[in-house]
Chain A
Amino acid sequence: MKKILAVLLAVAMLATLGITAFAEEEPIHLTLWTFQELHTQLYKEMLEKWNANPDNPKLDIDMQVYPYEDMHNKLTIALQSGEGAPDIVDIEINMFANYLKGDIQLADLNDIVEPMEDHLVMSRFNNYAKDGKFYGIDHHIGACIVWYNTEILEEAGIDYRDIKTWDDYHEAGKVVLEKTGKPMCTWESKDCWSIYPLVNQHGGDWLTPDNEVRMDEQVVVDTLAFMKSMLDDGTAVACPGGNHHSEEYYGWMNAGNCASVSMPFWYLNRFTDYMPDLSGKMKVAPMPLWPDGGHKSAQMGGTGTAVVKTSPNVDVAKQWLAYATLSFEGCVDTWLILGFDPIMTDVYGSEEMKAPNKFFDYYDDTIFDMLKTVLDDIPDTCLTEYFPAAADIVRNQMAYDLVIGGKDPEAIAKDCAEELRSMIF
């Protein structure tokens, strides 16, 4: 027994020694953390192009992929202890406010963002800003749109292009339900991707920049009341599995059980990857409008790529990041590789964006013509340091009480607002 253990121990030691880092001397070495393996495909492409230009200092970027929640935990620990953080890091939008508290450990990016201001959708940068300084760069707009299952709609005799307002949407839903027995849409019962886009598009939000709670405003009550009216007559149902990212929902939707879904643009690849049977049947369209005002769409979700202040190579890290995410090539590749709606307005309508890819095959090549029509009217979202708390309440209380609890919209809005107020100090 002892011999075996000794051998195992020796093997373990040797293996430890065997793993050595191969660091080249010439290029500048940077570390990048991300929670999304897909993003590294864009970064690798952009790194190659950067290094191909002899004017640029040679870079060697070590890209480390971590599990989603855990990467943020690790980043928190590293920033709190002042050591061990990477040079560049992808931070999820809901978490971003956490890193803008007190003594900010991220570098301000104004010198790379400001020169490009006229070409960018600037409301995406406000999500990652504090006191006039930008700390993160997003990869996409995340404009909310609606996916229609044309097969079901045709069976009910409805052309999705005729749906202009949420009232039209509801009426169409009644016809679909009557003719096919299928619901028009699903509302999430444990997540925020149904409630927040609708409220935000309607002109509402959870907080003001000064952390005044807006959750019990009339616009929230009205939006919830509309959602409830659809639940009440069966044109909307509780989302199987609780949200549009659950395995159960993918299977159910893929089997053609629901006429439409409203999600941010980045949901495109969920259809291509998880709902292959709907290929050719799904069409995308702008969100229906609210009869009483509001906006054409809402921007939801995102990742702010940031540079850590304590990095010894802040300047070169910023330059590369600007090239990878704020350049024309970078934004085109964002669509071609990641399937996102780029943050640069210049690329929309350009020839480069028309290169065939799996998304055009699944839907059709009019995606961007449709998207262009809503880009001029997307409201800001207000992401203060209490936004994570607000998002938590929306997911676990507001959505649940509305979709599962079937409570009165006014009472829901009031309770949630009180809950949020009790957390602000």
Chain B
Amino acid sequence: MKHSNRIDGKRKRVRSVFSTALMLITAALLMVPFYFMFLSSLKPGTEMLRNGLSLTFDPGVSSFRNYEALNTYRDGIYWHWYKSSVIIMVLQTVIGLVLASMVGYGLAMYRFRGRNAVFTLVLILMMVPFEILLLPLYRMLIKAHLTDTYFGVILPYLVPPFMIFFFRQYVLGLPKELMEAARIDGCTDYGVFFRIMVPNMIPAYGAMTILSCMNSWNNLLWPLIVLSSNEKFTIPIGMGTTITPYGNAFDVLMPGAVMAVVPIIIIYLFAQKTFIAGLTSGSVKG
């Protein structure tokens, strides 16, 4: 017995070293493009063209001057784009999480007439290519006087079907006993949802927060159609304006792209910490 335990321990250590090494190598490879982006953001735009994909830090031509220039580029418009992106991201994510988790839970937990029809509708809506809905959606927006507003931007994403689908799948994977126990305790259906299920769905909220923030942050087409004032643009639209057939403003593009990653990383780290803490103290464990 003792003997085999020692072998097990040794095997575990080997496995740990092997796994960590695999993760390290993969992480390093994945970071190469980002590292390049960061290095380029420190150099004048022509440096990148001159030397191509250079991964060596060159202190001679590197400085944070491009980052300072972001403040003055077209009267500091970059930070307006940044603000717009943040506002839209927060609104879209909060509303989407609340509504979609309810619907997903309802579809997973109850049997009722029309359930399959509704769920099929969710799936279809998820699969419709958004581009073909642009023209009629935009016509509606004009009638509702919502063009050039942030609310107009988030309107098509109030109850995102992909989120409903995910929450439904997630709830299906949860142990059934949880809900049964709560029912016996005499909770109302809403009580079960808010007190028992929501804490158990925390990892799903975590995943969806990150995903929703990311979708919103990278979304280009719809915000572009809705917004018309340059100051209300989001970062992807704004960054797009630096790329033109007559020349690309690499000096703005590179630092702008690096800065754009920062808030989501913060949200990610924050979300991860909170949600994992929530998970270990939740009732899944006991």
A266 close to chain B: CB less than 8 A? yes
Q: A19-B231, A70-B237 are in contact. Are A251 and B50 (CB under 8 A)?
A: yes
Contact yes or no, B246 A77, CB < 8 A: no
Partner of B229, one of A38, A64, A78, A245: A64
Contact A83 to B94, CB < 8 A, known contacts A70-B220, A248-B52, A255-B50: no
A157 at the interface (CB under 8 A from B): no
- A residues within 8 A CB of B46? 273-274, 276
Taking a contact as CB atoms under 8 Å apart, the answer to whether B244 and A36 are in contact is yes
What's the Cα separation between A74 and B240 when bound, in Å?
14
Bound-state CA distance A77–B94 (Å) is 29
Among B207-255, those with CB < 8 Å from A are 220-221, 224-225, 228-232, 237, 240-247, 249
Beta-carbon nearest neighbor of B242 in chain A = A37
Q: Are A1 and B274 in contact (CB under 8 A)?
A: yes
Structural contact, A70 and B224, CB atoms closer than 8 A: yes
- Determine whether the beta carbon of B245 is less than 8 Å from that of A81: no
Q: Kindly name the residue among B49, B229, B249, B274 whose own CB sees the greatest number of chain A CB atoms within 10 A.
A: B49
**Is A66 at the interface (CB under 8 A from chain B)?**
yes
B261, CB-defined interface residue at 8 Å: no
Cβ distance A424 to chain B, nearest Cβ, rounded Å? 24
C-beta contact mask, A14-37 vs B, less than 8 Å → 1, else 0? 011001010000000001000111
Tell yes or no: B280 within 8 A of A by CB. no
Instruction: Compute how far the CA of A254 lies from the CA of B225 in the bound complex, rounded to whole angstroms.
Output: 38
**Nearest-CB distance from A360 to chain B (Å)?**
19
Instruction: List CB contacts (< 8 Å) of A41-81 with chain B.
Output: 62, 64-68, 70, 73-74, 77-78, 80-81
Residue of A whose beta carbon sits closest to that of B237: A67
Residue B31 interfacial (CB < 8 Å):
no
A84 touches B142 (CB 8 A): yes
Q: How far in angstroms is the closest Cβ of chain B from A242?
A: 15
Is B11 interfacial (CB-CB < 8 Å)?
A: no
The interface bits of chain B over 126-170 (1 if a CB of A lies within 8 angstroms of the residue's CB, else 0) are 000000001100110010000101100000000000000000000
Known: A38-B246, A67-B241, A270-B247. A81 touches B142 (CB 8 A): yes
List residues of chain A with CB within 8 A of the CB of B139.
Answer: 81
* Residues A64 and B245 in contact, CB atoms below 8 Å apart: no
| Complex-state Cα separation, A112 to B232, whole angstroms | 35
- Please report the C-alpha to C-alpha distance between residue A180 and residue B138 in the assembled complex, in whole angstroms: 59
> What string of 1s and 0s marks CB contacts (under 8 Å) between B48-80 and chain A?
111110000000000000000000001000000
Which residue of chain A lies nearest to B224 when distances are taken between CB atoms in the complex?
A70
Give the interface centre of B74, B135, B232, B244 by most chain A CB atoms within 10 Å.
B244
Nearest residue in B to A86 (C-beta to C-beta)?
B228
Q: Which of B52, B138, B147 contacts A251, CB < 8 Å?
A: B52
> Roughly how many angstroms separate A301 CA and B48 CA in the complex, as a whole number?
27
Option from B52, B224, B228 in Cβ contact (under 8 Å) with A67? B224
Check A37/B241 contact, CB under 8 A, given A19-B231, A77-B225.
yes
B46, B229, B246: residue with the most chain A Cβ atoms closer than 10 Å: B246
Q: How far is the CB of A179 from chain B (nearest CB, A)?
A: 25
Cβ of B29 < 8 Å from any Cβ of A? no
A404 at the interface (CB under 8 A from B): no
A8 and B247 contact, Cβ closer than 8 Å, known pairs A65-B241, A73-B225: no
Q: Does the CB pair B247–A269 fall under 8 Å?
A: yes
Question: Measured between C-beta atoms, what is the minimum distance from B69 to chain A in Å?
Answer: 14
Decide: A251 and B244 in contact? CB cutoff 8 A: no
B87 an interface residue at 8 Å Cβ cutoff?
yes
B243 with A67: CB separation less than 8 A: yes
- A273 and B224 in contact, given A84-B147, A254-B49 (Cβ under 8 angstroms): no
B245 contacts A36, C-beta separation under 8 Å = yes
- Give chain A interface residues in 257-313, CB to chain B under 8 Å: 266, 269-270, 273-277, 301
Contact of A80 with B135 at beta-carbon distance under 8 Å, contacts A16-B150, A70-B240 already known? yes
Contact A77 B50 (CB under 8 A): no
Enumerate chain B residues within 8 angstroms of A255, measured Cβ to Cβ. Answer: 50
Across the two chains, which residue of chain B brings its CB closest to A339?
A: B246
| Shortest Cβ distance from A62 into B: residue | B229
Q: Are B274 and A266 in contact (CB under 8 A)?
A: no
Q: Is B108 an interface residue (CB 8 A)?
A: no
Q: Kindly state whether residue A250 has any CB partner on chain B within 8 Å.
A: yes
Residues of A within 8 A of B134 (CB): 77
Say whether B90 faces chain A, with CB atoms less than 8 Å apart: yes
Q: Is the CB of B245 within 8 A of A92?
A: yes
- Taking CB as reference atom, which chain A residue is nearest B137? A77
Q: Is the CB of A9 closer than 8 A to any CB of chain B? A: yes
User: For residue B88, which residue of chain A has the nearest CB?
Assistant: A12
8 pairs of A and B residues whose beta carbons are closest in the complex? A67-B240, A250-B49, A12-B87, A251-B49, A81-B139, A65-B241, A83-B142, A8-B90
Q: Enumerate chain A interface residues (CB-CB to B < 8 A).
A: 1, 5, 8-9, 11-12, 15-16, 19, 21, 31, 35-38, 62, 64-68, 70, 73-74, 77-78, 80-81, 83-84, 92, 245, 247-248, 250-251, 254-255, 266, 269-270, 273-277, 301
Give B contacts to A, CB under 8 Å. 46, 48-52, 74, 83, 86-87, 90-91, 94, 134-135, 138-139, 142, 147, 149-150, 220-221, 224-225, 228-232, 237, 240-247, 249, 274
List 27 A-B residue pairs with CB atoms under 8 Å apart, sorted by A's residue number.
Answer: A1-B274, A8-B94, A9-B91, A12-B87, A15-B87, A31-B228, A36-B244, A36-B246, A62-B229, A64-B229, A64-B230, A66-B240, A67-B224, A67-B237, A68-B244, A70-B240, A73-B224, A77-B135, A78-B138, A81-B138, A81-B139, A81-B142, A84-B138, A270-B247, A273-B247, A274-B49, A301-B245
Known contacts A9-B91, A70-B221, then 5 further A-B pairs from the complex at CB < 8 Å, ordered by chain A residue: A37-B74, A65-B241, A245-B245, A269-B247, A301-B245
